């Protein structure tokens, strides 16, 4: 198979060598530089990467992706789209060649979008599908997607893993106007309506977020329960920020009913009950969350649902209710997940002292 990698870049000099060493299993690598002012282009060319420069104005991610795709020769069997802050696990090409099935048009693989503080343990993981044959183009100004011109056939290839190591110094300021443009261009696209509502939430534009997330839930194509659940949770957050806690509770409960197999809604509602000083309800919600043992593979997973936070919350509210042994037990679980947290160590002393006195 002829396998080619293609990408877009701008001022990513510090990522070049790491990215190239990951991608060099491909036959050829093609990069569209969109106007770097550092030595990104020189570094790429020195490594033998095919580079062309083109400024995209006004900026759109889909247009840039399509221009980079044009650089790849037509005799390519598989096109692999990545970004310079992403790294494949070694051996990805052989896994694809050994397992690729005839008739597949698009390959799915595991994507570690974020990592815990150690930089090694994945936090948010889901499947990505940016490896494809000829017959696709990119659409949407931001959160761009591959759009088929052919009948699609997906194949998941186990063992192929792409890791994301984002540059936190890069601005996301262009995302909001591009998302607004995307929804203006295609108001029935449920995915980007959801993303726009989420972006308004990030910007603390709570009324705008609620309005857009309501719109998402009403769209005919908005059928994925995980994403619908997330929209409901985001609305609940916005209502809480605005001081409408009854509405917030209602939407968290709706989120629970929409996707009862996800922890996030229960834990967020528990956090709200904690703020409202209702410890029994906190424990009730967390008990439901802990009954869920498996973390789904979805970009909507949130780290707080699987780290020390819910166990810490359980311990605090157990202590409030005078359940000191339970407080000690759950605080220990929190410390197992977050052993360097000094507050948890101090809390452990309080809980154990309370338990000792209760047993005297």
Q: How confident is the model at residue 158 (pLDDT cuts 50, 70, 90)?
A: very high
Omega prior to 105 cis, within 30 of 0: no
Q: How does pLDDT run across 75-84, given as a tens digit for each residue?
A: 999 999 999 9
Q: What is the mean pLDDT of the chain?
A: 96
Pick the CATH number of 3-164 from 3.40.50.300, 3.40.190.80, 3.40.50.2300, 3.90.550.10: 3.90.550.10
pLDDT score, position 224: 97
CA within 13 Å, CB half, 255? 29
Confidence of residue 257 (pLDDT cuts 50, 70, 90): very high
Cα(204)–Cα(184) distance, integer angstroms: 21
Q: Which CATH entry fits the domain spanning 171-289: 3.40.605.10, 1.20.120.1690, 3.40.50.1970, 1.25.40.10?
A: 1.25.40.10
When pLDDT is cut at 50, 70 and 90, the band that residue 65 belongs to is: very high
> pLDDT band at 153, cuts 50/70/90?
very high
Let me know the angle formed at the C-alpha of 259 by 254 and 265, rounded to the nearest 5 degrees. Answer: 60
Ordered by start, the domain boundaries in the chain are: 3-164, 171-289, 307-360
The dihedrals phi and psi of 259, each to the nearest 5 degrees, come to -140, 75
What's the pLDDT at 119?
Answer: 83
- How many angstroms separate the Cα of 97 from the Cα of each of 41, 138, 162, 165, 342? 30, 25, 17, 26, 49
Nearest in space to 255 (alpha carbons), one of 220, 289, 206, 208: 289
Q: What is the dihedral of CA 146, 141, 62, 88, to 10 degrees?
A: -70
User: Please, is 147 exposed, middle or buried when counting C-beta atoms within 10 Å of its C-beta (0-12, 13-18, 19+)?
Assistant: exposed
Give me the pLDDT at residue 232, please.
98
pLDDT at residue 116 in the model: 86
- Residue ranges with strand state E in the chain: 3-9, 28-33, 50-53, 78-81, 86-88, 106-115, 122-132, 136-139, 145-148, 154-164
333 confidence band (pLDDT: 50, 70, 90): very high
Q: What is the pLDDT of residues 298-313, one digit of tens each?
A: 889 999 999 999 999 9
CB 84 within 8 A of CB 19: yes
Q: Could you read off the pLDDT of 173-197 as tens digits, one per residue?
A: 789 999 999 999 999 999 999 999 9
Q: Do domains 3-164 and 171-289 have the same CATH topology?
A: no
pLDDT grade, residue 172 (50/70/90)? Answer: confident
Nearest to 240 by CA among 193, 198, 275: 275
SS3 53: strand
**Secondary structure of residue 159 in the 3-state scheme:** strand
For residue range 118-145, what is the model confidence (pLDDT) as tens digits? 888 888 999 999 999 999 999 999 999 9
Place 201 in a pLDDT band, splitting at 50, 70 and 90. Answer: very high
Please name which of 251, 199, 245 lies closest in space to residue 228, comparing C-alpha atoms.
251
The pLDDT value recorded for residue 120 is: 87
By mean pLDDT, which of 22-31, 172-181, 282-291 is the weakest? 172-181
Average confidence (pLDDT) over 326-339: 97
- Which value, in Å, is the radius of gyration of the alpha carbons in the chain? 24
Is pLDDT at 264 greater than 80 in this prediction? Answer: yes
Give residue 107's Cα distance to chain centre.
19
Predicted confidence at residue 174, as pLDDT, reads 83
Q: What is the mean pLDDT of the segment spanning 32-51?
A: 97
- pLDDT of 155 > 90? The answer is yes
* C-alpha dist (Å) from residue 193 to 46, 177, 179: 42, 13, 8
Average pLDDT over residues 11-28: 97
């Amino acid at each position: 198979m002829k396998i080619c990698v293609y990408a877009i870049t701008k001022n990513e000099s510090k990522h070049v060598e790491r990215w190239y060493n990951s991608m060099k299993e491909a036959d050829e690598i093609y990069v569209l530089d969109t106007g770097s002012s550092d030595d990104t282009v020189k570094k790429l060319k020195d490594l033998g990467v095919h580079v062309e420069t083109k400024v995209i104005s006004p900026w759109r991610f889909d247009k840039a992706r399509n221009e980079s795709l044009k650089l790849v020769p037509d005799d390519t069997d598989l096109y692999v789209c990545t970004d310079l802050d992403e790294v494949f696990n070694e051996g990805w090409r052989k896994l694809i060649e050994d397992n690729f099935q005839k008739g597949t048009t698009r390959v799915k693989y595991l994507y570690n979008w974020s990592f815990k503080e150690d930089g090694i343990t994945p936090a948010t993981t889901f499947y990505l599908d940016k490896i494809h044959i000829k017959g696709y183009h990119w659409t949407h100004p931001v959160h761009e997607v591959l759009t088929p011109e052919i009948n699609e056939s997906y194949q998941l290839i186990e063992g192929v893993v792409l890791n994301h190591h984002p540059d936190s110094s890069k601005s996301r300021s262009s995302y909001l106007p591009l998302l607004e443009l995307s929804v203006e261009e295609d108001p029935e696209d449920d995915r980007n309506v959801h993303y726009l509502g989420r972006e308004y939430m990030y910007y603390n534009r709570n009324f705008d977020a609620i309005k857009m997330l309501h719109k998402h839930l009403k769209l005919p194509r908005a059928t994925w329960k995980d994403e619908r659940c997330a929209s409901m949770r985001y609305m609940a957050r916005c209502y809480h920020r605005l001081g409408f806690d009854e509405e917030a509770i209602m939407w968290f409960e709706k989120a629970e009913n929409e996707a009862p197999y996800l922890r996030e809604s229960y834990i967020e509602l528990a956090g709200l009950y904690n703020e409202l000083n209702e410890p029994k309800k906190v424990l009730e919600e967390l008990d439901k969350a802990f009954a869920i043992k498996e973390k789904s593979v979805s970009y909507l997973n949130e780290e707080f649902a699987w780290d020390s936070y819910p166990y810490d919350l359980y311990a605090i509210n157990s202590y409030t209710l005078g359940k000191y042994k339970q407080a000690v037990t759950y605080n220990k679980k929190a410390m197992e997940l977050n052993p360097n947290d000094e507050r948890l160590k101090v809390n452990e002393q309080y809980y154990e002292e309370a338990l000792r006195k209760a047993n005297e």
